[in-house]
Structure 1
Amino acid sequence: MPAPRHPRARTAGIVGGIVGLVAAGTAVGVGVSRAARRRVQAARLGPAAALALDATPAQLREDDPLGPDARPADHTALVQADDGVLLHVEEIGPRDAPLTVVFVHGYTLSMASWTFQRRALAAALATANGHRPEARLVFYDQRGHGASGRGVPENSTIEQLARDLAVVLDTRVPRGPVVLIGHSMGGMTIMGLASVRPEWFGTRIQAVGLLSTSSGQLADLNFGLPELLTRVRAAVFPVAAWTMRRRPAFAERTRQVMAELVSAVTRSLSFASADVDPALGRYVDSMIAGTPVDVIAEFYPALAGLDETGSLEPLRRVPTLILTGDKDKLIPMEHSELLLEHLGAAEDDTVDYVVVPGAGHMVLLERPDEVSGAITGLIRRVAAEARTR
């Protein structure tokens, strides 16, 4: 019979779980459920049918709250990663479009994090309005996120995510030029791809967009917290990570009990605007609730120990967009400035740097028009250069 745990050990586990869940759930990114995506679209983008919080996927598909402007996928597919994990993919636009844009989402997010860009770019680039569409859009859920399958914990690495992206490209985009757009961990995935497939940059891959991301040193982030709280977080997080991986049921219950605290911290760290739409706050709450705590814990070491600085050289061969919110507390804009320095932006006019004022880490939700505009500009630049060759 195992010896009972000391009361102090149990208290440390509970405190670590609470602080760790808040930190892990909000520190780098947020996850999303389809129901959450529908609710925020309904609140932000006009009238829509009322949706029950427990609506099934089938019910949600019946009436898209985007109304007549909705743009469902033209094609869905499952792609098998090299370890057998199935990745969920959705595509908009014809396969013979002259250019394909692949979107890679962040830690605990899903493809639905691109909801506003998906609508805007589908209307601007991927819809045939009497002429050939300019681009095809490809979205996929990273392993352990959204509708994709989960792998073994040992494969929760940036290198594995990079290999997953390579499989998506080989399977769904076997021909033609590609633009890669990544947010947060999605940007890190693209940097990882530059390490495992450097020869693709400048050949298959014609441009890259890196949004709210970093090439490393994430373990040193303070999330805008006072120094004392930063030290406390650093001390308890190993306990929290152990709890999330080894006692996920307990960790989930802790997260539910602390829902209001998690919600308040999440909104503060995800958005910079004081008047951010309350629907976006509820959106983030649902995102976090839809992400298993053990997935959060399994990927955290890969992010905390990230160092992709040595992988950046291939990106010098292609036009690159670096975009950040100037009030990002999770991955501060200094990390984007370091990317600029590593890419030699001072002597290279192929790098565009966009700082979105008054925006936080979830800039793609908080300032969707600015993000969509910057991505559209990058895509059209690549298309124009291709026409002149």
Structure 2
Amino acid sequence: MARSAHPSGQHHLGRTAGLIGAAVGLAAAGTAIGVAVTRSATSAVRANQLAGEVGDGRQVADVPAGELRQEDPLGAASRTADRTALVRTDDGVLLSVEEIGPADAPLTAVFVHGYALSMASWTFQRRDLAAQLATANGHRPSARLVFYDHRGHGASGRGDAAHATLDQLATDLETVLDARVPRGPVVLVGHSMGGMTVLTLAQRRPELFGTRIAGVALVSTSSGNLAELDFGLPQLLTRLRTAVLPVAAWTMRRRPAFAEHTRKLAHGIVSAATWSLSFASTDVDPALGRYVDAMIGGTPVDVIAELYPAIAGLDAGGAVEPLRRVPTLVLTGDADKMIPRAHSEELAGELPDAELVVVPGAGHLVLLEKPEQVTDALAGLFRRVAAERGSVRPG
């Protein structure tokens, strides 16, 4: 029987497959590379208000610390930002940026979050690194920590769907560097899609690595071959995901309101899948599970749908050579179902001087599940970079 090309036929297809598509597509594909953390709607509104107030420059403005910040639902006492800013990208999207530590610190670390996440995913590192990166001399932080939200995530603005590419995210990262870190050595810390963004920048601008960019941390990430991952699902569910993903993606892009409604109806399925795909521990604090559930529920489905093809089609093999010039940390959980540890081991194998850290009993959200190990490994990388650069040693 011929397939209907009429919009009403597409609508019927979306409705009949919508529940399965949204539940399995969001749980098994939408959370496949990273799990969402979002800002409140009022933060985005405030960002738009500020955009109207401060003009058209690339670096829009510094704004009072905390203006764009979300309450930490984990109660983790995340360190309050010393500075909050908006940065305008080359196509006019406003990115929300928060900073901790002195602007003239000898070293800056820029944190790049994962797919459907926000800078809030770094809540434990933000709190604990701020404490660790203090020198014995007056407890002055010897590094500045910079966090920002990708376009379409958190408190940042939305861009056109045509710009939902890793090349654009890499361009955005460079824009943040130009606006907020114009001088001094930088360490880039990327989780999941954030690591892919760093790798894409290395492909596009290899000359930055070893000069301006002095170190790299790649957490739970990959340089490619992601389209065929099964995310630890049984074969039957993997086939089901493959069958419904095109329908789910069409629904999320073309009928986001319906997809959002369906996602709410399938909350229990999505929550269970999120827990399984994100964590490996059996004793994860329920508050952390609720935190992740809130992240998933707050990420627009069309943002998930627009970015997924770029992630699935990633080929960043050309990024390896530039990374050989700088100290590199590759970190993964030993039970990551979304981007298996083999992807990190392959990356580390191509970087003979890289440090490979495999965290026992950790899944894809290792930065939230085992935060102490991640923080300690990052502090070690910062010490290596600072020692090589001859700056004040962190920690």
- Is the TM-score greater than 0.5? yes
User: How big is each residue's C-alpha offset from its partner over 1:121-145, in whole Å with a ceiling of 9 and x where there is no partner?
Assistant: 1111168961542100000001100
- Structure 1, unpaired ranges of 5+: 36-56
When you count helix as a share of all residues, which structure comes out higher? 1
User: How big is each residue's C-alpha offset from its partner over 1:47-92, in whole Å with a ceiling of 9 and x where there is no partner?
Assistant: xxxxxxxxxx89966999455xx52111011111111111000001
Residue 212 of structure 2: aligned partner: 204
User: How big is each residue's C-alpha offset from its partner over 1:163-222, in whole Å with a ceiling of 9 and x where there is no partner?
Assistant: 000000011000000000000000000001101211010000110000000000111100
Does 2:95 align with 1:87? yes
Residue 43 of structure 1: aligned partner: none
Residue 241 of structure 2: aligned partner: 233
Does 2:160 align with 1:152? yes
Contact kept, 8 Å, 2:334 with 2:363, in 1: the verdict is yes
Residue correspondence of structure 1 range 118-133 to structure 2 within 5 A: 118-125=126-133, 130-133=138-141
Contact kept, 8 Å, 1:126 with 1:136, in 2: the verdict is no
User: Which of 279, 291, 306 pairs up with 2:314?
Assistant: 306
User: Which of 320, 327, 344 pairs up with 1:319?
Assistant: 327
| Amino acid corresponding to residue 230 of structure 1 in structure 2 | T
Contact kept, 8 Å, 1:99 with 1:136, in 2: the verdict is yes
> For structure 1, which segment, 108-117 or 226-235, has the greater mean C-alpha deviation from structure 2 after superposition?
226-235
Contact kept, 8 Å, 2:110 with 2:187, in 1: the verdict is yes
TM-score under structure 2 length normalisation: 0.86
> For structure 1, which segment, 248-257 or 117-126, has the greater mean C-alpha deviation from structure 2 after superposition?
117-126
> Displacement of 1:23 after TM fit?
2.1
| Amino acid corresponding to residue 378 of structure 1 in structure 2 | L
Contact kept, 8 Å, 1:93 with 1:127, in 2: the verdict is no
Contact kept, 8 Å, 1:87 with 1:140, in 2: the verdict is yes
Aligned counterparts of 2:74 and 2:339: Cα–Cα separation in 1: 33
User: Which of 10, 34, 39 pairs up with 1:29?
Assistant: 34
| Amino acid corresponding to residue 246 of structure 2 in structure 1 | P
Aligned counterparts of 2:375 and 2:7: Cα–Cα separation in 1: 57
User: How big is each residue's C-alpha offset from its partner over 1:111-163, in whole Å with a ceiling of 9 and x where there is no partner?
Assistant: 00000000001111168961542100000001100000110001010100000
Aligned counterparts of 1:62 and 1:232: Cα–Cα separation in 2: 36
> For structure 1, which segment, 355-364 or 331-340, has the greater mean C-alpha deviation from structure 2 after superposition?
331-340
Aligned residue for 2:201, secondary structure, equals: helix
Stretches of 4+ moved more than 3 A in 1?
Answer: 2-10, 57-67, 126-129
Residue 179 of structure 2: aligned partner: 171
| Amino acid corresponding to residue 369 of structure 1 in structure 2 | E
Give the superposed CA RMSD.
2.5
Does 2:331 align with 1:328? no
| Amino acid corresponding to residue 105 of structure 2 in structure 1 | A
| Amino acid corresponding to residue 305 of structure 2 in structure 1 | A
Aligned counterparts of 2:214 and 2:79: Cα–Cα separation in 1: 26
Aligned counterparts of 2:355 and 2:319: Cα–Cα separation in 1: 19
Residue 9 of structure 2: aligned partner: 5
> Displacement of 1:11 after TM fit?
1.9
User: Which of 368, 372, 375 pairs up with 2:375?
Assistant: 372
Aligned counterparts of 1:304 and 1:71: Cα–Cα separation in 2: 34
Residue 258 of structure 1: aligned partner: 266
Alpha-carbon spacing, 1:135–1:256, altered in 2? closer, same or farther (3 Å) = same
Aligned residue for 2:189, secondary structure, equals: strand
Contact kept, 8 Å, 1:93 with 1:126, in 2: the verdict is no
| Amino acid corresponding to residue 5 of structure 1 in structure 2 | G
Does 2:281 align with 1:277? no
User: How big is each residue's C-alpha offset from its partner over 1:302-345, in whole Å with a ceiling of 9 and x where there is no partner?
Assistant: 011111112221001001000000000000001001112333x2
TM-score under structure 1 length normalisation: 0.88
Residue correspondence of structure 1 range 95-114 to structure 2 within 5 A: 95-114=103-122
Aligned counterparts of 1:125 and 1:59: Cα–Cα separation in 2: 22
User: How big is each residue's C-alpha offset from its partner over 1:10-52, in whole Å with a ceiling of 9 and x where there is no partner?
Assistant: 42344323321222332111111357xxxxxxxxxxxxxxxxx
Aligned residue for 2:361, secondary structure, equals: coil
Residue 59 of structure 2: aligned partner: none
Alpha-carbon spacing, 1:337–1:80, altered in 2? closer, same or farther (3 Å) = same
Residue correspondence of structure 1 range 213-232 to structure 2 within 5 A: 213-232=221-240
Aligned counterparts of 1:373 and 1:9: Cα–Cα separation in 2: 47
